[in-house]
Amino acid sequence: MNWLLVIAGAMVGAPLRYVTDRAVQLRHDSVFPWGTLAVNVTGCLVLGVLTGAAVAGAAGDRVELLLGTGLCGALTTYSTFSYETLRLAEEGARFYAAANAVASVVAGLGAVFIGVAVARSFWG
């Protein structure tokens, strides 16, 4: 049963990642991977809220599997982030590569902390 929850979450997360990435990237005329940054930071925010809810006892194991492992696992993408950063560096856009690495880590961590804080305000 657990694997069905993961699959159900991933069935929403993967297409959501693709659609969001394309929509965001089309709005920016830049080599910077704004779409990947957006989905990764959004996933961190959702995972932060979920973590805060779980710690407070408001989200059980099934919700964590569905939303944390399934949805967020398919929505976010470390491999694409790594590939795009490497591609930027190899193409001579070293500033963008460094900015992508720093922005992804800082914004991702910031989003997860904000998510936990939001959850604590609701369930804390």
**Residue type at 94 in one-letter notation:** R
Supply the DSSP string of 47-96, one letter for each residue. Answer: HHHHHHHHHTTSS-HHHIIIIIIIIIHHH--HHHHHHHHHHHHHTT-HHH
> What residues contact 21, with CB distance under 8 A and at least 6 apart?
35, 36, 38, 39
The DSSP letter of residue 27 is T
Query: Is 76 marked as a binding-site residue?
Result: yes
Residue (of 29, 47, 16, 40) closest to 119 by Cα position: 47
73 among the known binding-site residues?
A: yes
Question: Binding-site residues for Na(+), please?
Answer: 73, 76
Question: Binding-site residues, please?
Answer: 73, 76
